[in-house]
Amino acid sequence: MRVARAALHFWEEPPISGGAGSGTIFFAHCPLGCIYCQNRAISHEEVGEVASVQRLVALMLDLQARGALNINCVTPTHYAPTIREAVACAREDGLDLPIIWNTSGYETVEAVRANRGTVDVYLTDFKYADASLGERYSRVRDYPQRALAALEAMVEAVGAPCFDEYRGEGRMVGGVVVRHLLLPGHLDDSKRVVALLHERFGENIRFSLMNQYTPVLATAAAAGDEDAARILGLFPHLGETVPEADYEELLDHADNLGVQDYFWQQGGTCSESFIPEFPVR
């Protein structure tokens, strides 16, 4: 395993971060190759430290000692067997926090089922309803099909969202939060995502509708990154932020569909302050 960062993180959804912070462990590399990734340093490069099972156990226990509400494994899928081993060892040593699997959604059903008994909460993306967007932006041809099957397995494994009161905070201890990031120029696909998943899962999932798309490609291109400049030449809209009116229309769409409760963002979320510093601190 390669770990890029382990720290308290305060910018997840309220019942994930709360006031105490989520005990996030960012793993290097990713099963997807999203061309607009805001964490390119860890998804595409060799940032971070090589970590043994024993080192990961120590990081988890340290985060618990610092008051974390949970252990939040970010992009963990490609290290799943080793992470499960570490969680089991950490629990033997006193870890008693919920385990969150923070994923792109590009999982196999078999991998999700293998996490039973380890993972309490899935914090998963559902990026696209249109498979062609997955091929264009994330370099996979079957994203919606794969993510939908995985999501069904997640709901089956951990059930509907549930919460407790931990140190006076409403903490999520079970269930699935589905994140969807609105991309510039793709409001219609975002509407399709919400409609598809609400019809299929109803209140068995909790949506998190996000407007924080950050045009890191524009910053990189301005700094002389030739690959970023090439991508922007093909997809210039990826160098823009999401119009506020588009985001409001997406929220209205969710309301009109009858989505009862969801997380939403307010204000200047398209800021690089949402991008964590790497490596481990």
CATH number of the CATH domain containing 29 = 3.20.20.70
Is pTM beyond 0.85 here? yes
Q: Within a domain: residue 213?
A: yes
pLDDT value of residue 44: 73
Q: Is the peptide bond before 243 cis (omega within 30 degrees of 0)?
A: no
pLDDT value of residue 274: 54
Q: What are 188-220's pLDDT values in tens digits?
A: 999 999 999 999 999 999 999 999 999 999 999
Count of structural domains within the chain: 1
Q: Within a domain: residue 165?
A: yes
Q: What are 229-271's pLDDT values in tens digits?
A: 999 999 999 999 999 999 999 999 999 999 999 999 986 554 5
Q: Is 6 helix (H, G, I), strand (E, B) or coil?
A: strand
Give the whole-angstrom CA distance, residue 250 versus residue 238: 19
pLDDT value of residue 47: 81
Q: Within a domain: residue 124?
A: yes
Phi and psi at 5, nearest 5°, equal: -165, 140
Residues 183, 247 contacting (CB under 8 angstroms): no
* 279 pLDDT higher than 80: no
Q: Domain limits at 23?
A: 2-274
pLDDT value of residue 273: 47
**AA letter at 137:** Y
CA 180 to chain centre: 9
* 53 pLDDT higher than 90: yes
Q: What are 11-33's pLDDT values in tens digits?
A: 999 999 999 999 999 999 998 99
Q: Within a domain: residue 102?
A: yes
CA dihedral sign of residues 158, 164, 166, 170: positive
Q: Within a domain: residue 279?
A: no
Burial 238-266 (b: 16+ CB within 10 A, else e): bbebbeeebbeebbebbeeeebeebbebe
Give the whole-angstrom CA distance, residue 22 versus residue 108: 26
Q: Within a domain: residue 281?
A: no
- How many residues belong to the chain? 281
Q: Within a domain: residue 280?
A: no
Give the whole-angstrom CA distance, residue 169 versus residue 183: 32
* 280 pLDDT higher than 60: no
pLDDT band with cut points at 50, 70 and 90 for residue 281: very low
Mark out the alpha helices in the chain (DSSP H runs). 14-17, 40-43, 53-65, 80-92, 109-114, 131-138, 143-158, 187-201, 216-222, 226-234, 244-257
pLDDT value of residue 277: 57
Q: Within a domain: residue 264?
A: yes
Q: What's the rounded mean pLDDT across residues 139-156?
A: 98
Q: What are 85-121's pLDDT values in tens digits?
A: 999 999 999 999 999 999 999 999 999 999 999 999 9
